[in-house]
Amino acid sequence: MSADASERSASDDASALEAPQNCVELQTAVLPAARLLSFNATWLQRGMAYHQLRDPELSTFVESFLWTLDGRVCLNSLRVAWAAVAAATPALRTHFDLNSGPITTQHVHPSLEELPFSVRAMPRRGGGDC
């Protein structure tokens, strides 16, 4: 590749990153041909899945978090922020298919668009509305 071609390519990449509206657009600009990636789970991952299925109450490998947010929450801003974190963290976009055949498969999704995002309003402790 000539120096001119590499300079053109670099400037094309830079123009795709100029002034994104939000992180979701930035992700789309950087990964235009993103696709689902699938891999066989490692022996360690298969062992973790086995123990979790054997004892679902076990929290050794699966940890859940619940955040309590006071005040009004802009759901669109929350979705954009979560998309930015997930775009930078493939583990947050990964799921394991335990029914994929004899070997457990892990799938890394290219974006959150195909993954669920749900919000549930919970009553405050001690009564009252959200």
Q: Would you say 48 and 109 are in contact if contact means Cβ atoms under 8 Å apart?
A: no
44 inside domain: yes
pLDDT score of 58: 81
In terms of C-beta distances under 8 Å and separation of at least 24 residues, what long-range contacts does 78-83 make, across chains too?
Answer: 78/119, 79/117, 80/22, 80/23, 80/24, 81/23, 82/112, 82/117, 83/22, 83/23, 83/24, 83/27, 83/111, 83/112
Our count of domains for the chain comes to 1
11 inside domain: no
pLDDT tens digits, one per residue of 5-61: 444 444 444 343 343 444 444 444 444 456 888 999 999 989 888 888 899 888 777
123 inside domain: no
pLDDT tens digits, one per residue of 70-104: 778 888 888 888 888 888 888 888 888 888 888 88
Higher pLDDT, 113 or 28: 113
36 inside domain: yes
Higher pLDDT, 117 or 58: 58
Print the domain residue range for 73.
20-114
7 inside domain: no
74 inside domain: yes
12 inside domain: no
What is the rounded average pLDDT of the residues 116-124?
71
pLDDT score of 116: 65
Q: Is the pLDDT of residue 67 over 70?
A: yes
Q: How many H-runs (helices) and E-runs (strands) does the chain carry? A: 4, 3
31 inside domain: yes
